[in-house]
Structure 1
């Protein structure tokens, strides 16, 4: 029996540990999200079973996933897609196709359904824009040619993977539209809203210029967010995908950075920690202590992702004329997975597209990639700069 199942107590415990535990794990270079996932796995039903997740907590977790994808969409600014030259598209295709095929066949080899295998392939395509951006800034590569190319590629890959995910989810849920009609409505709605919603938002911002303008602007944005989410719900689009699309649409609004900061505070202050904790409670790390097929599945997914992403990233960069270390940096940094991967995996798990073994494998993959991806990238960047000074 769980020791704690009261909603307020669970929220208090999660938010308290959400402040304390990440500070401890920083010593081990573990990101905020990863530390909360580990905490959830320890305290949840697959660990000591101290905490039970009820419907109210799940609602907070759902809002956390929605906020995560909203923020991911806001990172995907228009300028990242306006200069998609042939070499960027070529690198993105190779860095997506090989990992997709690898992920698909790994899952299919272990006896999973076609849809589950498709999902793993899609997960192999996606990246973590926020983690990649911060890593590039840390190593001071964000303004280099390879850095700019990586940013464009990561944004493009995330958008493509989420569009593929929305089509996959439509295939496993009952909707009123045929698949082709659904996809057409999805793409056209994004284009139309991308054209007009920023103008509407800017108009309302201008109408409310006063002392507490940013609070008013925040309310306007949340109201528009709910409106678009309702619209996408009517189309049968999963809320997680819809949240990303809303962020992508609103990213075009001028001077949006202050509102973005306030949204970040609300999301990461309350909802996002609970989401990461819930993901941890659904993750069964006990499979690491057993020697069976699940271990081979986890190892295959982790190795498959790292090898396919690194090899495809390195080769695609070399083919396009980038230097050795630049190509190595693209290969290593493209292995990074975090927020997008966890959000879509939790959505897939709730829709029974994947089972607990696959979810646990993906979470373990995320934990390792948040350390290995940025860590190896930083080492390569230091090596490259060291040789320049020789």
Structure 2
């Protein structure tokens, strides 16, 4: 695929201007920047700018995600969200994160169970088959942590007990979602087996053990060794190279790349170069790459998918929002959190994205479910992404802030 440099540069300019204008207006309205970036993306994309220009001018004048330049922007956005999670890991004390492990496990498991059962039950009630209902429930299980992490950082609550619990629970949630995805995929294509499932789980376990056990020993030493050379910013380059390698490995074992990036950040936080690396990555990330991800999410949003909203779609959306708030909130209550903090945990675990869309598309491709599930999933991803920053800000009003 050939990329036209002038088109890419123009898209970069439009994306950055949209991100900054949208973020600034959002802050003026008392909302997190990420909310304004998502809305700005929708406005400059086919759903708004494209539709308006087509009706007035007779041709579409907007950012088009399917073009080579649009695909390139999507790639830059993916790198941006990887850098965001790397920064999140760099910003966290390992001991604090470890203490959040037990309650996070309960929160993640409770949220997955409640979301799956409610989605399965609703689809069954509307006459879907057992396998169709299984995909409907599966779509709702996995949290997308990128939007929540960005919002928690803006509100200065990521490093609190609640913020760390949300982050750790989202990592566990991702693993549980992939296991459920593997089971449903096997059932859809008739190839599920005990050995196949054991292989998926074993690869995940090996990945986490290798990265955590070897990473804490090797990565700080590698960065220290690299610092001996006189090349400009060599420590930063080596650190980013490690991030991208581990993120790629995570994708290979079906774990989200952002989880790999977060783990590298957590490991690198033990290095003497952590503060320097974090500052430089934050400059590049927030100045260029991270806003591109959220604007691109808006650009790729298809508002027409909301045009044929059925009763089941409304129920499905309500369950998508309620199931995580109730399920993860219940897990937080069982782990000793108060009612307000439990609600905050539940709201923070609400957004869905990649895993949900992948699961719905697999069901459609296998002929197990119709396009209706994919349309409902797009609606859930869109609306949970838009409302989460607003609800998180409301939920965390009066909450403990970072010291």
Q: What is the Cα deviation at residue 100 of structure 1?
A: 3.9
Q: Secondary structure of 1:123's partner?
A: coil
The structure 2 residue matched to 1:189, chosen from 203, 207, 213, is 207
The answer to whether 1:307 aligns with 2:309 is no
- Equivalences for residues 107-256 of structure 1 within 5 A: 114-123=134-143, 128-132=148-152, 135=155, 137=157, 148=161, 150-167=162-179, 172=185, 178-209=196-227, 215-232=233-250, 235-237=252-254, 241-253=256-268, 254=270, 255=272, 256=274
Structure 1 spans left out of the alignment, 5+ residues: 383-390
- Equivalences for residues 335-354 of structure 1 within 5 A: 335-336=347-348, 341-342=352-353, 344=355
Q: Which moved more, 1:24-33 or 1:104-113?
A: 104-113
- Which residue of 2 is the match for residue 97 of structure 1? 113
Q: Secondary structure of 1:378's partner?
A: coil
CA contact (8 A) 1:94 1:312 kept: yes
Q: What is the Cα deviation at residue 330 of structure 1?
A: 2.0
CA contact (8 A) 2:139 2:360 kept: no
- Backbone CA RMSD of aligned residues: 3.9
In the TM superposition, what whole-angstrom CA distance separates every residue of 1:50-91 from its partner, at most 9, and x where no partner exists?
Answer: 221223432332342343245336535532443258666545
Q: Which moved more, 1:116-125 or 1:254-263?
A: 116-125
Q: In structure 1, how many angstroms separate the alpha carbons of the residues matched to 2:244 and 2:104?
A: 34
The structure 2 residue matched to 1:55, chosen from 68, 75, 86, is 68
- Which residue of 1 is the match for residue 384 of structure 2? 365
In the TM superposition, what whole-angstrom CA distance separates every residue of 1:109-153 from its partner, at most 9, and x where no partner exists?
Answer: 665563353122223999834534654639xxx6xxxx52x2443
Q: In structure 1, how many angstroms separate the alpha carbons of the residues matched to 2:13 and 2:276?
A: 28
Q: What is the Cα deviation at residue 23 of structure 1?
A: 0.5
Q: In structure 2, how many angstroms separate the alpha carbons of the residues matched to 1:321 and 1:247?
A: 26
CA contact (8 A) 2:357 2:378 kept: yes
The structure 2 residue matched to 1:82, chosen from 77, 93, 98, is 98
- Which residue of 2 is the match for residue 25 of structure 1? 26
Q: In structure 1, how many angstroms separate the alpha carbons of the residues matched to 2:172 and 2:324?
A: 16
In the TM superposition, what whole-angstrom CA distance separates every residue of 1:200-242 from its partner, at most 9, and x where no partner exists?
Answer: 2222222233697882111101222333344445x4536xx03
Give the alignment's TM-score, normalised by structure 2.
0.72
CA separation of 1:367 and 1:181: change in aligned 2, threshold 3 A: same
- Which residue of 1 is the match for residue 85 of structure 2? 72
Q: What is the Cα deviation at residue 373 of structure 1?
A: 2.8
Q: In structure 1, how many angstroms separate the alpha carbons of the residues matched to 2:348 and 2:336?
A: 23
Q: What is the Cα deviation at residue 375 of structure 1?
A: 0.8
Q: In structure 2, how many angstroms separate the alpha carbons of the residues matched to 1:258 and 1:14?
A: 28
The answer to whether 1:376 aligns with 2:377 is no
Give the alignment's TM-score, normalised by structure 1.
0.74
Q: In structure 2, how many angstroms separate the alpha carbons of the residues matched to 1:104 and 1:156?
A: 26
CA contact (8 A) 2:246 2:261 kept: yes
Q: In structure 1, how many angstroms separate the alpha carbons of the residues matched to 2:361 and 2:282?
A: 25
Structure 2 spans left out of the alignment, 5+ residues: 1-5, 51-61, 365-372
CA contact (8 A) 1:334 1:373 kept: no
In the TM superposition, what whole-angstrom CA distance separates every residue of 1:301-343 from its partner, at most 9, and x where no partner exists?
Answer: 4432443344445555555665xxx3123214421358x7445
Q: In structure 2, how many angstroms separate the alpha carbons of the residues matched to 1:281 and 1:214?
A: 36
CA contact (8 A) 1:313 1:327 kept: no
In the TM superposition, what whole-angstrom CA distance separates every residue of 1:331-373 from its partner, at most 9, and x where no partner exists?
Answer: 14421358x7445556667878762442232221221121123
